């Protein structure tokens, strides 16, 4: 006969409580490990640890070294050399190539050790122009770094606000689910009392199921936004970030369009970069024009050689010879070769000037669009607030009429959906207004 062992109910209940306690403790531990960050703290961490910004930092450091390298061209050029070789016999064809030559005695070993130096005094100011060119490129790199920081901040703000929005949605949907569950209990009680149909309960359960699916999607949105934000800040993916409470977009400092436009023309990174690129084109033209200028410099050289075969009479002795003086040169062919180069450089400058004006036009358009969109988002907040008030009142009326058998279940469910949607719209409008504000600050170079 088989024995059947059964687990006592009290033991099973104890195991269930223990498991539930462990899950709750783990959840509490995760909440304790969460980090609450303000948008300013997120920006500071991103500016310090973001990989795109670090790459720009390296570019700025490299351009600074290029300036030092250009300045080093003012120093004298010094070189050394050494030669060692074997000299062939020295046949002298006295009677022509068809006759046997006479071999003159020569020293077959040859070596030379020496050095020379050259100091540029004037080369059409090409060295000074090159230093200025590298300095402008350094400024461009610095502005590009600042622009990258601003764009990373804007991206961080988008992720941060997306996380804020998802958390706000989560709170709204959880409250809605709680209300729906309470409402479902009342509808089931009406079904027991024979007041409503089974279909009313099924429709209410269906809507509640959909809300739970929405809650699951929102939880995934939160996890995705957190990972994006962590990657942007250079933090581990698993770090739990809790944003601060959603602030009112209306409290953000605002200016009129003219003030935003003046700020953009003065501080916009795109405008500054375009200005520096125009200066760079001007220097390129100046450098090309300098090709027809003479060059002037000091030179000196000294060398030890063996044997002495440079001057007559020759001798098999080690000798030293040096020379110092001033050297001037002028490229005659530059007078006709450089003409087309100058024209090409002028065309490049005119192109860059037109591009600079085009950049300013684009900035004006972006400022205008950003300003209008920001004010539009503020108006959306006002409308959304009114819609929430109206949806709440409508939900209250329909709820009373339904449970008094004066309206249908479809009206009740629709009013619940409209209320939740208007609450979502209000939270989304507030987030969108803040993002529009940060986008406008990025355009004017103030982020």
Q: Phi/psi at 66 (nearest 5 deg)?
A: -65, -30
Task: State mean pLDDT over 78-91.
Answer: 86
DSSP 139-208: HHHHHHHHHHHHHHHHHHHHHHHHHHHHHHHHHHHHHHHHHHHHHHHHHHHHHHTTSS-HHHHHHHHHHH
Contacts of 313 (CB under 8 A, 6+ apart): none
> How is residue 123 annotated by DSSP?
S
Task: Give dist(CA 326, CA 354) in Å, integer.
Answer: 45
pLDDT exceeds cutoff 90 at 272: yes
CA atoms of 177 and 169, how far apart (whole Å): 12
Which has the closest alpha carbon to 295: 324, 330, 325, 337? 330
Cβ atoms of 292 and 312 within 8 Å: the answer is no
Tell how strand 35-37 and strand 241-243 pair up: parallel
Q: Quick one: pLDDT band at residue 112, thresholds 50, 70, 90? A: confident
Q: What is the pLDDT of residue 11?
A: 40
Q: Any idea which residue has 């044997």 for tokens? A: 307
190 pLDDT band (50/70/90 cuts)? Answer: confident
Residues 334-349: pLDDT tens digits?
Answer: 888 888 999 999 999 9
Q: What is the largest CA-CA distance in the chain?
A: 141
**% of residues, the chain, pLDDT over 90:** 46
pLDDT bracket for residue 250 (50, 70, 90): low
Q: Give me the pLDDT at residue 249, please.
A: 63
User: Is pLDDT of 277 > 90?
Assistant: yes
pLDDT at 22: 45
414 CB-side CA count, 13 A: 9
Tokens of 265: 């023309």
ω into residue 313 within 30 of 0, thus cis? yes
Over the chain, what is the mean pLDDT? 85
Residues in the chain: 447
> What SS3 state is found at 328?
strand
The answer for residues whose C-beta is within 8 angstroms of residue 66's C-beta and 6 or more apart is 134, 137, 138
163: which 2 tokens? 């996380």
Would the pLDDT of 279 be above 90?
A: yes
Residue carrying structure tokens 């329909």: 398
Does the pLDDT at position 55 exceed 70? Answer: yes
156: pLDDT confidence band, cut at 50, 70 and 90?
A: very high
Confidence bin at 58 (pLDDT 50/70/90): very high
Tokens of 308: 């002495």
Q: Give pLDDT, residue 87.
A: 82
Q: How far is CA 74 from the centre of its chain?
A: 37
Do 296 and 121 contact (CB within 8 A), yes or no?
yes
Q: Which long-range contacts (CB under 8 A, 24 or more apart) does 170-173 make?
A: 170/215, 170/218, 170/219, 170/222, 172/420, 172/423, 172/424, 172/427, 173/211, 173/214, 173/215, 173/218, 173/420
Report residue 330 as tokens. Answer: 């002028």
Q: How many helices (H) and strands (E) does the chain have?
A: 9, 8
What pLDDT shows up at residue 31?
47
Q: What is the DSSP letter of 244?
A: P
Residue 3 predicted with pLDDT over 90: no
Supply the pLDDT for residue 318: 84
| Model confidence at 150: pLDDT above 80 | yes
Place of tokens 């209250």: 396
Give residue for tokens 């590298």. Answer: 134
- Spatial neighbors of 371 by CB under 8 A, at least 6 apart, are 257, 260, 440
Q: Residue 365: which pLDDT band, with cuts at 50, 70 and 90? A: very high
With beta carbons less than 8 A apart as the criterion, state whether 66 and 133 touch. Answer: no
Average pLDDT in the 7-28 region? 43
pLDDT at 278 over 50: yes
Residue 206 has pLDDT above 60, yes or no: yes
pLDDT at 82: 92
Using a 10 angstrom Cβ sphere, with 0-12 exposed, 13-18 middle and 19 or more buried, the burial of residue 81 is: exposed
| Residue pLDDT, tens place only, 213-231 | 999 999 999 999 999 999 9
pTM for the predicted model, two decimal places: 0.79
Of 194, 160, 210, the closest CA to residue 438 belongs to: 160
Contact 45, 152 (CB under 8 A): no
Is the model's pLDDT at 386 over the cut of 60? yes
Local confidence band at 89 (pLDDT 50, 70, 90 cut-offs): confident
| Residue 392 structure tokens | 């709440």
């Amino acid at each position: 006969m088989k024995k059947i062992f059964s687990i006592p109910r009290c033991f099973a209940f104890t195991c269930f409580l223990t498991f539930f306690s462990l899950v709750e403790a783990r959840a509490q531990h995760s909440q304790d490990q969460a980090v609450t960050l303000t948008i300013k703290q997120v920006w500071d961490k991103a500016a310090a640890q973001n990989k795109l910004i670090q790459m720009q930092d390296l570019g700025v450091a490299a351009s600074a070294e290029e300036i030092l390298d250009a300045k080093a061209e003012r120093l004298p050029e010094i070189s050394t050399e050494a030669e060692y070789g074997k000299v062939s016999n020295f046949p002298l064809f006295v009677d022509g190539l068809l006759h046997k030559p006479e071999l003159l005695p020569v020293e077959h070993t040859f070596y030379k050790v020496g050095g020379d130096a050259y100091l540029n005094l004037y080369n059409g100011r090409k060295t000074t122009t090159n230093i200025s060119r590298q300095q402008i490129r350094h400024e461009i790199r610095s502005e590009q770094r600042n622009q990258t920081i601003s764009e990373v901040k804007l991206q961080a703000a988008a992720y941060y606000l997306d996380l804020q929005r998802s958390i706000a949605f989560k709170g709204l949907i959880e409250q809605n689910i709680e209300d729906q569950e309470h409402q479902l209990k009342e509808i089931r009680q009406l079904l027991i009392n024979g007041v409503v149909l089974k279909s009313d309960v099924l429709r209410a359960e269906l809507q509640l199921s959909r809300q739970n699916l929405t809650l699951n999607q929102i939880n995934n949105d939160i996890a995705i936004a957190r990972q994006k934000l962590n990657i942007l800040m250079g933090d581990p993916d698993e770090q739990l970030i809790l944003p601060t409470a959603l602030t009112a977009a209306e409290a953000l400092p605002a200016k009129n369009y003219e003030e935003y436009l003046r700020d953009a023309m003065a501080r916009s990174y795109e405008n500054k970069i375009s200005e520096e690129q125009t200066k760079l084109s001007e220097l390129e033209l100046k450098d090309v024009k300098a090709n027809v200028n003479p060059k002037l410099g000091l030179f000196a050289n000294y060398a030890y050689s063996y044997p002495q075969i440079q001057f007559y009479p020759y001798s098999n002795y080690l000798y030293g010879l040096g020379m110092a003086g001033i050297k001037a040169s002028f490229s005659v062919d530059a007078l006709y070769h450089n003409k087309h180069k100058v024209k090409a450089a002028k065309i490049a400058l005119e192109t860059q000037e037109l591009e600079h004006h085009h950049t300013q036009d684009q900035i004006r358009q972006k400022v205008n669009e950003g300003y209008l969109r920001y004010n539009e988002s503020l108006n959306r907040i006002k409308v959304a607030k009114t819609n929430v008030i109206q949806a709440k009142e409508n939900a209250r009326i329909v709820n009373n009429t339904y449970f008094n058998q004066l309206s249908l279940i479809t009206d009740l469910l629709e009013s619940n959906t409209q209320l939740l949607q208007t609450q979502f719209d209000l939270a989304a409008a507030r987030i969108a207004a803040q993002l529009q504000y940060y986008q406008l600050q990025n355009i004017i170079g103030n982020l």
